[in-house]
């Protein structure tokens, strides 16, 4: 039987996505066996991120700098804005390197069942960004779920008064699918085939 500290570490790791109790136990054993090569670098990395972690005031991404690396990148097209539900969706799209513009993270999606209302998301900040001008296209990259499509419809209504091209992801994203689980080929097809809303 392991010490309480090791059990606490195992339990903490088992709460991470994709790690159950057995996987967490294997990860802890790996870290213990390779203390200098695995555990200590992991501890330093966790401490560094923990000390510097911030939310980007422009887009809502999480990074160690504000504005985040994406917003600060001068190669990004400031006229194109991709709206996503969560940071994991932003990272999935950014990893594909297919969208040349900037992002806006809503912080979730509208859901009557979960009590998530428009004021619980960063929708007003999105409208303010578009209202400030300089944006020609807004891509609504919501997950292909009922709540995601409801959110996209609500955003389309809020943004229809602005002189922008409003598009959303097209075929390629399966119904019920979530962006951070899709492969790059599927994401590429969805971005290339985006279409106007309404």
Tell me: do 87 and 140 sit in the same domain: yes
What span, in angstroms and rounded, lies between the C-alpha atoms of 42 and 168? Answer: 39
End-to-end CA distance of the chain: 61
pTM more than 0.85: no
Q: Give the β-pairing of 195-196 and 165-168.
A: antiparallel
Q: Is 63 helix (H, G, I), strand (E, B) or coil?
A: strand
| Residue-level pLDDT at 172 | 66
- Tokens linked to 41: 């670098």
Q: What is the DSSP string of 80-143?
A: EEEEESSHHHHHHHHHHT---EEEEE-SS--BTTTTB-GGGTTHHHHHHHHHTS---EEEEE--
Q: What is the DSSP string of 64-90?
A: SSSS-HHHH-TTSEEEEEEEESSHHHH
- Tokens linked to 66: 């504000």
The CATH number of the domain where 110 resides is what?
3.40.1360.10
Domains held by the chain: number = 2
| Residue-level pLDDT at 189 | 73
pLDDT at residue 198 greater than cutoff 90: no
| Residue-level pLDDT at 195 | 77
Tell me: do 82 and 153 sit in the same domain: yes
pLDDT (tens digit per residue) in 103-144: 999 999 999 999 999 999 999 999 999 999 999 999 999 988
- What's 36's DSSP letter? I
Tell me: do 46 and 66 sit in the same domain: no
Which of 52, 72, 88 is where one domain is finished?
52
Query: What does residue 47 show for φ and ψ, rounded to 5 degrees?
Result: -65, -45
Q: Closest Cα to residue 89, out of 19, 154, 172, 181?
A: 181
Q: Closest Cα to residue 137, out of 167, 158, 105?
A: 167
pLDDT (tens digit per residue) in 134-178: 999 999 999 888 899 899 999 999 999 999 999 998 756 777 778
- Other C-beta atoms within 10 Å of 90: how many? 27
Q: What contacts 155, CB < 8 A, 6 or more positions away?
A: 83, 123, 126, 140
Tell me: do 68 and 157 sit in the same domain: yes
- Lowest-confidence segment of 21-25, 70-74, 77-81, 135-139 by average pLDDT: 21-25
Domain that holds residue 33: 4-52
Residue 182 resides in a domain: no
- What band does 1 get if pLDDT is binned at 50, 70 and 90? low
What is the torsional sign of CA 125, 61, 183, 74? Answer: positive
Tell me: do 48 and 61 sit in the same domain: no
Compute the mean pLDDT over every residue in the chain, rounded to the nearest whole number. 91
Computed over its alpha carbons, how large is the radius of gyration of the chain?
Answer: 20
């Amino acid at each position: 039987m392991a010490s309480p500290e090791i059990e606490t570490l195992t339990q903490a790791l088992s709460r991470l996505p994709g790690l159950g109790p057995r996987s967490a136990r294997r990860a802890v054993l790996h870290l213990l066996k390779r203390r200098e090569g695995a555990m200590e670098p992991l501890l330093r990395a966790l401490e560094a991120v923990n000390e510097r972690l911030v939310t980007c005031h422009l887009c809502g991404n999480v990074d160690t700098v504000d504005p985040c690396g994406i917003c600060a990148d001068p190669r990004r097209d400031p006229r194109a804005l991709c709206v996503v539900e969560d940071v994991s969706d932003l990272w999935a799209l950014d990893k594909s390197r297919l969208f040349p513009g900037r992002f806006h993270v809503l912080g979730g999606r509208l859901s009557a069942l979960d009590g998530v209302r428009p004021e619980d998301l960063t929708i007003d900040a999105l409208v303010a960004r578009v209202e400030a001008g300089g944006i020609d296209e807004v891509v609504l990259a919501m997950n292909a779920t009922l709540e995601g499509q409801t959110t996209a419809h609500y955003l389309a209504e809020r943004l229809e008064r602005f002189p922008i091209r409003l598009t959303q992801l097209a075929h390629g994203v399966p119904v019920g699918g979530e962006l951070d689980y899709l492969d790059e080929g599927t994401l590429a097809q969805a971005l290339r085939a985006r279409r106007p809303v309404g």
